Structure 1
Amino acid sequence: MRSRVFGLVLLGASIFGILPTALAAVPAEAQQYRRDLTRIAQAEWGLDAPVATFAAQVHQESRWKFNAKSPVGAQGLGQVMPTTATWLAQVFPKTLGKVEPYNPTWSLMALVSYDRWLAARIKGRNGCERHAMVLSSYNGGLGWLIRDRKLASAQGADPLVWFGSIERFNAGRSAAAFKENRGYPRLILKTFEAQYIADGWGKGVCS
């Protein structure tokens, strides 16, 4: 995968804020997409798909606003950049071939499919640690994760563990980008995921 693709998905974290108190409950807007997300997630990840995790990610990205657009151009529920959307259409021509970032179904499919593509290329000590790395890569690019993990390993940290290990190391991101990237997996997996599980959205990767 070319490095130019790895950094193209920009997240709602910088647009909608990353404070866990921003929304203490599942927003009403989410309910209309619940069945669609469940169907898409199970088709891509199997019947035991962590639907609550994907819902938590959408929550962080766009707060379930299908027409969300960031100042830098990220679009839709999954806040996918146009160049990334074009790449996804090439990688998944049957399901994402027609680029429609403001189509909720397309956007949910893009988020779930890209997470799966990343997961196939990332090893973790367990499912939770691996998915934290998936989310870091969705936010900042797989190339950055590879560099951070290499640095962590060189410093004696466990390269298969994100929380408390890889997340402590910065291979060259700006301070702002580093802060956002580290907050992204933690908020999704340690805060929002549990909210969606409690609301009946199914299982999560860390809870």
Structure 2
Amino acid sequence: MKRLLLCLTLLLTACGPLVPAQGSALEPAQDLGTLPAAALKYQHLLLRSAQANWGLDAPVALLAAQVHQESRWRPDAESPVGAQGLAQFMPATAAWMAELYAEPLGANQPQDPAWALQALVLYDRWLYLRIEAASTCQQLAMTLAAYNGGLTWVRRDQALAAGAGADPGTWFGSVEAYTQRSESARRENRAYVQQIVRRWQPLYQSWGPAACEGKF
């Protein structure tokens, strides 16, 4: 139990997977409009996991875009800080997920594509259910921000927005403008959400439902 509480504390504060900067060795440049060959290879795995855990209206296009942003669909991807696999889980996050979802996930295997995709879907769902927002679009945007930077930071940002008279339930144009994170962490976190929703998601719209359509 103590181990579980420790991992949960880490997860809520700083265990969210970190995304390397664009152009790093982990994330080579990708032409807009081109899907990595591996994306098609793992499409069925993602679709099956998404619908099993989110239902038939699962935001498949958004989830696929998130995998694209995290690893470019490379199961062997590893960031300079130690994040691994398709979902780029940090070791503590992967261990916590394997313990929390022992039955569906089984042994901790972040570099196994099936494990990583199901874990990403489950983690996103876990975060989504703990975020209050004005709409599904805004809730999913905050879910992405929490995946990248931690749920505690999203809640702090919401509180800052509310304190400034802004809408704490709206990410775009509201909560995203408020934070006490370092400048580098702020830039990375806000770019993470924008890249997934606006840049990569359109590439995967044929896979299934998208999020925030018509919002930009």
Task: Please list, as runs of the form range in 1=range in 2, the aligned pairs for 1:1-207 lying within 5 A after superposition.
Answer: 2-6=8-12, 7-14=14-21, 22-24=30-32, 25-171=34-180, 173-197=181-205, 200-207=206-213
| Count of residue pairs brought into register by the alignment | 202
Shift of 1:27: 1.6
What is the CA–CA distance in structure 2 between the aligned matches of 1:135 and 1:166, rounded to whole Å?
13
Q: CA RMSD in A?
A: 1.6
* 8 A Cα contact 1:13 1:60, kept in partner: no
Distance 1:16 1:33 in 2: 23
> Which amino acid in structure 1 is aligned with residue 199 of structure 2?
T
**Corresponding residue SS for 2:130:** coil
What TM-score, normalized to structure 1? Answer: 0.93
CA contact (8 A) 1:15 1:70 kept: no
Structure 1 CA distance for aligned equivalents of residues 177 and 22 of structure 2: 24
Partners of 1:13 and 1:184 within 8 A in 2: no
Task: Report the identity percentage.
Answer: 47
The SS at the match of 2:109 is coil
Deviation at 1:67, TM superposition (A): 0.4
Q: Give SS of 1:14's match.
A: coil
Distance 2:139 2:151 in 1: 12
For 1:15 and 1:74, locate their aligned partners in 2 and report how far apart those are by CA, in whole Å: 16
Find the aligned partners of 2:31 and 2:106 in 1 and give their Cα distance: 34
Please give the per-residue CA displacement for 1:56-104, whole angstroms capped at 9, x wherever unaligned: 0000000001100001100000000110011101111111231001100
What TM-score do the two structures reach when normalised by structure 2? 0.89
Distance between the aligned counterparts of 1:5 and 1:40, measured in 2? Answer: 22
Structure 2 unaligned spans of 5+: none
Alpha-carbon shift at residue 51 of structure 1 (Å) = 0.8
Q: C-alpha displacement at 1:190, in angstroms?
A: 1.4
Q: How far is 1:14 from its partner?
A: 3.0
Runs (4+) off by over 4 Å: none
Displacement of 1:11: 2.6
Query: Do 2:77 and 2:84's aligned partners in 1 also have CA atoms closer than 8 Å?
Result: yes
